[in-house]
Amino acid sequence: MSVTRKTEIMIEREQLVLIVRTPMPEILCEECGRDVKMIEMKEASRLARISQREIFSRMGNDSIHFKETPLGSLFICFDSLVNDLRQSG
Ligand SMILES: [Zn+2]
C-alpha cells in the first residue's frame, strides 16, 4: 500500500464540491465490505468544514465509517463521508 502517491479527486454533486489533494490509501472498510479510499481525520475535517468532534459524533452513530491504523491514525471512509455530507446538506 502506497501512501505517498498523490491523488486528486473532484466530486461535484449538487452543492457539494470536495477537492482532494492528499494521499488516499485504499483500505478495507468493514461497513462497506470492500476496499475504499480513506482520508485522514484532519483532512476530512478540513475538507468537509466540520470539526473533528462532529466527525467523531457521526462516527458514533455509524453515519461515517472509519478505520484506525496500527499506528493510531484515524482514517475516514471517503464514500461514507461524502454520503453523510450530502444527507446533512
Ligand atoms: Zn465505508
Question: Domain for residue 35, yes or no?
Answer: yes
> Would the pLDDT of 89 be above 90?
no
Residue 34 C-alpha to ligand 1 middle, in angstroms?
8
Question: pLDDT class for 8, splitting at 50, 70, 90?
Answer: low
Question: Domain for residue 18, yes or no?
Answer: yes
Return the C-alpha cell found at 20. 482532494
Residue 23 C-alpha to ligand 1 middle, in angstroms?
17
Distance (Å, whole) CA 78 – CA 10: 12
Give how many domains the chain has, as a whole number. 1
Supply the pTM of this predicted model: 0.77
Residue 51 C-alpha to ligand 1 middle, in angstroms?
20
Residue 30 C-alpha to ligand 1 middle, in angstroms?
7
Question: Domain for residue 2, yes or no?
Answer: no
Residue 36 C-alpha to ligand 1 middle, in angstroms?
7
pLDDT score for 5: 61
Question: pLDDT class for 78, splitting at 50, 70, 90?
Answer: very high
Question: Domain for residue 84, yes or no?
Answer: yes
Question: Domain for residue 3, yes or no?
Answer: no
Sign of the torsion angle spanned by Cα atoms 14, 19, 22, 23 = positive
> Would the pLDDT of 19 be above 80?
no
Question: Domain for residue 1, yes or no?
Answer: no
Q: Which domain holds residue 31?
A: 8-88
Residue 64 C-alpha to ligand 1 middle, in angstroms?
7
